[in-house]
Amino acid sequence: MTIIIIILSFRTLVFRVRNLLVVYTSLMSHAFVYIMASASRVLYVGVTNDLLRRVAEHKSKSHAGFTARYNVTRLVYFEEGTDIEEAIFREKEIKGWRRSKKVLLIESFNPAWDDLAADWY
């Protein structure tokens, strides 16, 4: 999967994921549910209002905890919305799923388990 990123200004980002052009600006309210994975496919489900920042934190292991301990540094899935409460509800829903259902979700979006943020930094 190829992801192309173009920074238009300090707060505007354009990138292409699966042939869909996605534009992010600071004027839009965002809420993301995301799944990170390790090379051995240990999973972490999270929610954030700033996906770029949060993924960078996971990759740099800036917070001691589960993802740093288990080297969970690859973004393998994300959903975007505008309501943080809905995103938190969705995060809890996904966290409650069996691992097999999470794997199906990831593979429906990213069959090769590529790091979707590999070219972001």
Cα end-to-end distance, the chain, whole Å = 16
Superfamily of domain 28-109: GIY-YIG endonuclease (3.40.1440.10)
Q: Give 96's pLDDT tier (boundaries 50, 70, 90).
A: very high
Question: How is the chain split into domains, by residue range?
Answer: 28-109
C-beta separation of 47 from 31 below 8 A: yes
* Structure confidence at residue 28 (pLDDT): 58
d(CA 83, CA 78): 15
d(CA 107, CA 51): 20
Q: Can you give the pTM of this predicted structure?
A: 0.77
The number of C-alpha atoms within 13 Å of 1 and in the hemisphere containing its C-beta is 22
Q: Give 95's pLDDT tier (boundaries 50, 70, 90).
A: very high
d(CA 34, CA 59): 14
C-beta separation of 74 from 55 below 8 A: no
Q: Give 103's pLDDT tier (boundaries 50, 70, 90).
A: very high
